[in-house]
Amino acid sequence: MTTSQPPSQVAVEFSLALHNRTGKYVVGRDIIDDARDLISRVLYWRARRAQPPTGLEAKVLGRLMSMEIDMRLGAAGLARGAPKLRPPERVLHLDPFTVVFHRLRPTDIILCHDLGPLTHRSLFTPGVTRLYEHAYAEIAAAQPHMVFVSQASQAAFHALYRGPLASSRVIYNALRSEVTRGAGEPVDGISKPFLLTVGNVGARKNQLACVRAFARAGLAQEGCEYVLCGGREPGFEAVAAAAAETPGVRILGYVPDAGLNWLYDSAAGFVLPSLLEGFGIPVAEAGARGLVPLVSRDSALHEVAGDGALLADPENEREIADGMLQLVRMTADEKSNRLAQLRGSIARFDQATFRNAWREALSENAGE
């Protein structure tokens, strides 16, 4: 016999941890660590664990999870009638896709990073788009509590789904102290001056346009390099091929925090005119380390960085090239003024504000 948990307790759906070790994972980890007294259990697909599964266990659970998704969304609908999970307590979904495993209720809470699979379909496989279409349709029908990482993501959701929700709020992600206050360690083979991009390398982050813009700007002829670091995403091969043919461009792959801190501290400017972002932690980290960023105009990145950033149309390589030149040639006075504005903007992303906002979200309406 199942005993109901106290109404203040929340079950957390963290299945994204089976595959994802990027920004979404870090946000989910921090939410759990900061609110363990409010959490009854953490679920990884259909497994309950005290810590995220690793190694072979993570691979097996991830594969079984993918099989269930395929069956539930497949043309034959083989698993559409299969029982769904329904924990007695409210459920916090750390990514919208996990609602397909659950019987969603208005009391549940969904964390939304971005609407990319629906608003930028060309950047995702048809299977990913179909999964999120299904998930968001269930969310729109259940009308649960929604938390967004930016006003841009919140606006994108409400533009697509106009029905009411139990609640809708924005909770900004927090900056990691390992980066904002951590020490730096030089990265071998990198010489100054250089421009920096941090983030998974692929189509979504728009590094191909940035590499072409760097070549257009002619900065390599002035002794400037362009350094990219991060894991691989769909579209990596095209970026790598362009980088190999462009003098002055380096792709480093994953860089540990100490090396990342040194790159932030040493770069002449930060470049991320991404095609799609829910929040954009690297932009905030760059500003915290005293680096002026070049970001996409009218985007979540602009929302994060504020008016201290340089802006460009992410689909206009000439604008990106002009922004790169401005970063390299920026006067000390302009840099100081922009950094003052950046510091004011990123002050919103401290750990205490993040922790308190999430504890409020998990505690509010607990008796529903």
Alpha-carbon distance values, 152 to 34, 128, 165, 192 (Å) = 25, 21, 17, 35
Q: Where do the domains of the chain lie, and which CATH numbers do they carry? A: 10-174+351-363 (3.40.50), 177-347 (3.40.50.2000)
pLDDT (tens digit per residue) in 111-120: 999 999 999 9
pLDDT (tens digit per residue) in 80-127: 567 899 889 999 999 999 999 999 999 999 999 999 999 999 999 999
pLDDT (tens digit per residue) in 33-64: 999 999 999 999 999 999 999 999 999 999 99
- Tokens 């769909």 locate to 234
Angstrom distance (rounded) from CA 314 to CA 245 = 22
pLDDT at 191: 86
pLDDT class for 1, splitting at 50, 70, 90?
very low
B/e letters for 102-128, b = 16+ CB within 10 Å, e = fewer, are: bebeebbbbbbbbbbbbebeebbeeee
71, 73, 79, 85: CA torsion to nearest 10: 110
Mean pLDDT rounded to a whole number for the chain:
91
Angstrom distance (rounded) from CA 336 to CA 170 = 30
pLDDT (tens digit per residue) in 305-329: 999 999 999 999 999 999 999 999 9
Helix boundaries (H) for 120-268: 126-142, 151-160, 177-180, 207-217, 236-245, 257-266
Angstrom distance (rounded) from CA 281 to CA 305 = 10
Indicate the burial class of 47 (C-beta count within 10 angstroms; 0-12, 13-18, 19 or more): middle
pLDDT at 366: 54
Of 233 and 215, more confident: 215
pLDDT at 5: 44
Q: Is the pLDDT of residue 28 over 90?
A: yes
Residue 229 carries which side chain, given as an amino acid letter?
A: C
Indicate the burial class of 322 (C-beta count within 10 angstroms; 0-12, 13-18, 19 or more): middle
Rg (CA), the chain: 21
Judged by DSSP in three states, 81 sits in: coil
| 229 DSSP 8-state letter | E
Q: Which of 79, 286, 307, 252 is nearest to 176 (CA)?
A: 286
Would you tell me the crossing angle of helices 281-288 and 332-346 to the nearest 10 degrees?
120
Angstrom distance (rounded) from CA 335 to CA 134 = 46
- Tokens 């990913």 locate to 128
Q: Are 272 and 280 in contact (CB under 8 A)?
A: yes
pLDDT at 368: 54
pLDDT at 253: 87
Judged by DSSP in three states, 111 sits in: strand
If residue 197 lies in a helix (H) or strand (E), which one and from where to where? strand 194-198
pLDDT at 364: 80
pLDDT (tens digit per residue) in 325-355: 999 999 999 999 999 999 999 989 999 999 9
Q: Is the pLDDT of residue 235 over 90?
A: yes
Helix boundaries (H) for the chain: 23-34, 55-73, 116-119, 126-142, 151-160, 177-180, 207-217, 236-245, 257-266, 281-288, 300-305, 317-329, 332-346, 351-363
Q: Are 8 and 37 in contact (CB under 8 A)?
A: no
pLDDT at 80: 56
Region 148-165: mean pLDDT is 94
Q: Is the pLDDT of residue 2 over 80?
A: no
Question: What number of CA atoms fall less than 13 Å from residue 173's CA on the CB side?
Answer: 33
Q: Is the pLDDT of residue 137 over 60?
A: yes
pLDDT class for 6, splitting at 50, 70, 90?
very low
Q: Is the pLDDT of residue 204 over 60?
A: yes
pLDDT at 180: 75
pLDDT at 365: 63
Sheet (strand 249-251) strand order:
249-251, 225-229, 194-198, 269-272, 293-296, 310-312
pLDDT at 74: 78
pLDDT at 82: 73
> Which residues partner with 295 through β-bridges?
272, 311
